[in-house]
A and B are shown apart, each in its own frame.
Chain A
Amino acid sequence: MVKEFAFGFKELVIDHKLMAGVMGYENGQLPPPFDEYMETALQEAATLNDIRASYLLIDNSRIDKGRKVLYARENEFNIGNAVCNELNGAERFAFYVCTAGKTISDKSVSMLKGEDPVLGYVYDILGSAIAEAAGDKMQLFLKNEVGKAGEKTTNRYSPGYCQWSVGDQHKLFSLFGEAPCGVSLTQSALMQPVKSISGVIGIGKNVEFREYQCSLCFSENCVYRRIRGI
């Protein structure tokens, strides 16, 4: 079953402090003139009408802990040890795709290429934050839905992180059929629009939601490690 959402920008909870942190300002405050750039981008974002999210619930799926593989339909996802442990106890899974949309993704790219690279960079950061905020809202809906039957959800995990090969994106997208939320994949597993996220959430009575921990992941140059001072 695929559940689809269309979100308005104002419905989303954007993490401003995290955006400032990603840009390098770890106290969460953007100095002038970058605060004004962000204000411009936020005003523009209020008009976005292509923020989308969707998830697909798959009941007949299981994890092989020995092989570190998640089986869903005819696909084998090589999720690696860390994600395998985080999804432990899940009885079914929600695969998801969320996007900040083509508008902000394209705007960022065109600004970065010429007109105003600083504003383009701010759009890039905001686009990422919108995609994550859409993911948060979709995840909250899912949590409430499965909670009615006493089930819980894990955090969400994505190909490309924690030793889960980004190449598995192709298998994930094949579950949905046509481009979910208008998001398609390049041959190298890059999502288009670029400001999109995808992954899986475990569901079950015995799963736990755990905050992300950098110790699970081997990405040494990740910006979130720097923000967290690791």
Chain B
Amino acid sequence: MNEILTQLSDCIEFGKINMASPYPPQMKGQEGADELTAKALAEGINPQDVLTLGLMPGMERIGLKFRENKVFVPQVLMSAKAMSTAMLHLKPHFLSGAAKQKGTFIIGTVLGDLHDIGKNLVSMMVEGSGYKVIDLGTDVGSDKFIAALKDHPGAVVGLSALLTTTMVNMQAITKEIKDAMPGTLITIGGAPVNEDFCNKIGADSYSADPQGVVEFLNRKLAS
């Protein structure tokens, strides 16, 4: 594989944003995701390859490390910062069609709940894994999910909740989405929910961590 792409995937994995960033200490003074993405595109590397061979492998590695408790939320957020910096360079290529994302994921924290750290982590990880993400924010009811689905047919929906009082809203939102847009796939997550709850409310998947959502999307959208 191209050396720049290998370096780029390392920058994502270790959260090296740009040359000026002192983090991580072992990469201090080196080019980061910002410079390397620009350099890769300037050297004529296909934007699709920059995404799938450079950025995505790094994001997958950090996602797996997070699942295995080898890294923690701050490190994932640094990786996400590096990823979003790189994505700024790729954005024009997504718009022109020179690079394609694997599908669309609509995510929101359910009605009544304002917690968004877990939702943001999933959002960043999914985007870094090659999907277009529509983040509806917090306190989101079924009407907003359905409107977003109408704008993005075939998208998968992610519902997040942190409270036992708001997880119950997942049931109504899931039903209303499925009634309005039959066939829509819904994945749920958050501290109080589990596989049994997922089955009970008629959602399609429960994930205990962000990488689980990526794996579900890869099975359903990218296969």
Contacts and interface: CB of A to CB of B under 8 A. Distances in A.
Interface of A: 23-25, 32-34, 37, 109, 112-113, 117-118, 121-122, 124, 160, 165-167, 186-190, 192, 194, 219, 221-222
A160 B192 CA distance: 11
A177 B22 CA distance: 51
Contacts of A118: 74, 77-78, 81
B77 A117 contact: yes
Nearest to B70: A24
Interface in B101-131: 111-117, 120, 124
Contacts of B166: 188, 190
Contacts of A219: 191-192
B23 interface: yes
Contact of B69 (A24, A34, A121): A24
Q: Which 7 A-B pairs have the closest CB atoms?
A: A24-B72, A188-B112, A221-B191, A118-B77, A33-B23, A188-B165, A117-B77
Contact of B165 (A167, A192, A194, A221): A167
A38 B73 CA distance: 14
B201 interface: no
B121 to A, nearest CB: 9
Interface of B: 22-23, 25, 69, 71-74, 77-78, 80-81, 111-117, 120, 124, 163-166, 169, 191-192
Given A32-B25, A112-B116, A112-B120, A160 B72 contact: no
Nearest to B116: A112
Contacts, number: 69
Nearest to B208: A221
B215 to A, nearest CB: 19
Contacts of A124: 117
B23 A23 contact: no
Given A32-B25, A118-B81, A24 B114 contact: no
Contact of A190 (B69, B80, B163): B163
A166 B74 contact: no
B203 to A, nearest CB: 18
Nearest to B191: A221
Contact of A112 (B71, B81, B111, B117): B117
A222 B80 CA distance: 24
Contacts of B169: 188
Nearest to B71: A24
